[in-house]
Amino acid sequence: MNDCKRRLARIRPEFMLPHFIQPCSPIPANSVPAGEGWLHELKLDGYRLQVAKDGPEVRLYSRRGHDWGKRLAALAEALQAIPVRSAILDAELCLLAPDGTSDFAGLQAAMGSGR
């Protein structure tokens, strides 16, 4: 059993959100795995976020568990509208350029200026 599966196996049904769960580390690959049951995603340059929602409460965590709720208050408020009672979402915060590529320097500048 890999480390990610061990961590998930320890989560009890009575686990209450929003608490940080250490995310699994992505594994880079040169090709898509064969067979059914695999998902993959493109690597975008941004900040990894964990969104923890419980009722109206939403918390945003960095990949190391730092609370980014105040830093990204407008995003946390917008995520309250997700039509579920509770969820943990693994997300990537990106600024997309007009051509659809991610712009990490632009994202850093936007966050540094409070936008």
Q: Which residue from 45, 48, 53 is spatially nearest to 17, judged by alpha carbons?
A: 53
Q: Which two tokens stand for residue 91?
A: 């997300």
- In the set 5, 43, 53, 70, the catalytic residue is 43
Q: Catalytic residue at 53?
A: no
What is the chain's alpha carbon radius of gyration, rounded to the nearest angstrom? 16
Residues 21, 104: Cα–Cα separation, whole Å: 25
Residues designated as active site? 43
